[in-house]
Structure 1
């Protein structure tokens, strides 16, 4: 029996229930407990782990000091859950991980109804997490169940389905799993079911998070020339960083990013300045997200922008007498890329072709994902899942149900091919 016929109704009910859990940061435990029960009911051997701040401090994405990690991210009472199925001689074959994250971003404005009350209409599901990425996670669960039901005689190895937390905060659960293997066996490859529009993504962009602080001198608005406003300095810095963005987009190239007009974007995501409308603004804080290309490191890109800032400050015409501070904050995302000839990539592409998907060429993504943690640990990882990234984090987040069924079919076939190799 094919995947859609076998699992459509149960998968739909599973996703509907999963989307009802408000799994924002730190609130994932009830959903994870529910998921673990479902895995055990379906015959999976289950595992559970939480991230240790001391361990995360050894990962380049997180601060080097465990106390700083604790200040930046919450790790306690945030369980990661996995289910394992064994086939044939499990020790003789490879282990493939199907990974998804259960956490979602806050909802914000623009929703027409409760984001955690799933709505179905014309073959489309609308809910927070529908695309990013509870439908993809569910497709992993039911792809594994389909393979367990079929039990092909030529398979040896293990299939692991992971539901991790904190992906939106830098990959807390996946980083912990990459640094300290939670299983008594090694892992050979992984598929992360992020919303890729059912296309294989083998490269993800990194990002550098930097906080700029400027200090000027206050004065009464009526005699503003007596003060030292932070705004001219900030605008000069912003323009210089945007010029560096343009220069980097010309200089730094990658074959999978040629389609993007701005492959390595610089974004001022937040800025706050001044104290009072009738006073010259004497302080400013701005937070930057800076793109890092596959093949670069966060440290290398950081040095470029710090050098640009230092050159500006050294100019006699720089409009502030005090030097800016420009420090890292939050979580850093290293870029990641794997060769398109990796067996797991070939398995996904072959499965796509077998299911009639025409676009099987590998792509690059301008966002980061948990795949980077596994790639860093030596586990080749490809992104492949239902839904479009344009729906992620958006109000009225939605996904076409046929895409979920298609992704499930491809995951079943890809797992077959990988474990039979």
Structure 2
């Protein structure tokens, strides 16, 4: 593999250094400044931008209040390499996000001190998605070192805030930071080196219930929120199952629950010796490609209304059910888009089985580019099963294969 022979050692060093930066939300700047310098030293024409909270507040993914969107000192950076006559060819974006989720517990070592063993790299962000970002950088460099008779551009982006709705990517999609247009993009999320053309959306809602407290010794005088919450939870799970049968999509037939509903956080009560009279729950609801967040929201609001109508106490104190945080609209492109065909052709050239496009039950920055009219496919090393997990790891051989494949995909796309 020519890519591995040329770049293995330098790519290892790059990925190791990048994983040492603790790029949790709001802390991306040091890594981005380092990467900006690396790109500049490697001969890229460099760009830097920060998102405007007011502009994002007008986007359906983000809260309406700009004060709730943290954008200050969260730069996104990019490097551009041009080939032949760039205006005569296509422009392809290779995109990755630099931010990571907090490491949490369950690690055998320090999450931001990379460990190498048995052909694997372990660190927070190794799979999601610093190694994917690294392959974008080195695929562009590899193509530049071997390109012949190509016209066009490769843009390598490192964006901030993907885990918070795609702050850097949304800004790049809404207000193009480059003096040229973009024809297509590949986002190097961990897809097990398979092309993903459809990503699921998600609705984030906060449920608040109010009951009536009483002393635990006479709890029959109170009105607990707990059984009422359980009825709502079961009603939502029933709707999840109904939607799984009713809302079909050919790329999601492999998933046991295609449009998951997850109550990820529940807090109830005030004191062990009192009837629980308040509850707050946060729920993430899956949205299928072809649906809108608003449509799915109405379905769950109606189901909640049905539970309330059967309980006079809830009718007297109606639950609050409001959006919070970030909403992810689903996204999808056609399987025959040139950028998808370029990825499949490259897979065949590098010994990977050129699989049909897949669907993913998570959201990604691809949706921002698709919404802006830029066909975007996901393809990268690593597994989503490692993302956000303790002891997050990635097989290095797969990283090298992804780098070779991204190089060939870019070559194929620009040569067409």
Q: TM-score, normalised by structure 2?
A: 0.99
Among 154, 157, 164, the alignment partner of 1:159 is 154
**How big is the alpha-carbon RMSD for the aligned residues of Structure 1 and Structure 2?**
1.0
1:116 paired to 2:112: yes
Is the Cα contact below 8 Å between 1:233 and 1:318 reproduced in 2? no
1:324 paired to 2:319: yes
1:69 paired to 2:66: yes
Aligned to 2:59: 59
Among 211, 214, 220, the alignment partner of 2:209 is 214
Deviation of 1:319 (Å): 5.4
Q: Deviations over 1:154-198 (max 9, x none)?
A: x11110000001001111100111111000100010000000000
Aligned to 1:127: 123
Deviation of 1:214 (Å): 0.3
Q: Deviations over 1:200-247 (max 9, x none)?
A: 000000000000000011111111111111111101111100000000
Instruction: Give 5+ residue unaligned stretches, structure 1.
Output: none
Matches within 5 A, 1:17-416: 17-64=17-64, 68-71=65-68, 73-153=69-149, 155-316=150-311, 321-416=316-411
Is the Cα contact below 8 Å between 1:216 and 1:321 reproduced in 2? no
Deviation of 1:81 (Å): 0.2
Q: Deviations over 1:248-272 (max 9, x none)?
A: 0000000000001100010000000
Q: Deviations over 1:70-128 (max 9, x none)?
A: 22x31000100000011111011111000000001101111011111111111110011
Aligned to 2:86, what secondary structure does the other structure show?
coil
Q: 1:358–1:37: structure 2 CA closer, same or farther, 3 Å change rule?
A: same
- In 2, the alpha carbon distance for the partners of 1:125 and 1:316 equals 54
- In 1, the alpha carbon distance for the partners of 2:145 and 2:162 equals 30
Q: Deviations over 1:299-340 (max 9, x none)?
A: 000000001111211125565631001000000000000000
Aligned to 1:70, what secondary structure does the other structure show?
helix
Is the Cα contact below 8 Å between 1:203 and 1:363 reproduced in 2? yes
Aligned to 1:349, what secondary structure does the other structure show?
helix
- In 1, the alpha carbon distance for the partners of 2:158 and 2:294 equals 30
Instruction: Give 5+ residue unaligned stretches, structure 2.
Output: none
- In 2, the alpha carbon distance for the partners of 1:69 and 1:359 equals 43
- In 1, the alpha carbon distance for the partners of 2:331 and 2:311 equals 40
Aligned to 1:368, what secondary structure does the other structure show?
coil
Is the Cα contact below 8 Å between 1:86 and 1:158 reproduced in 2? yes
Is the Cα contact below 8 Å between 1:387 and 1:399 reproduced in 2? yes
- In 1, the alpha carbon distance for the partners of 2:85 and 2:313 equals 69
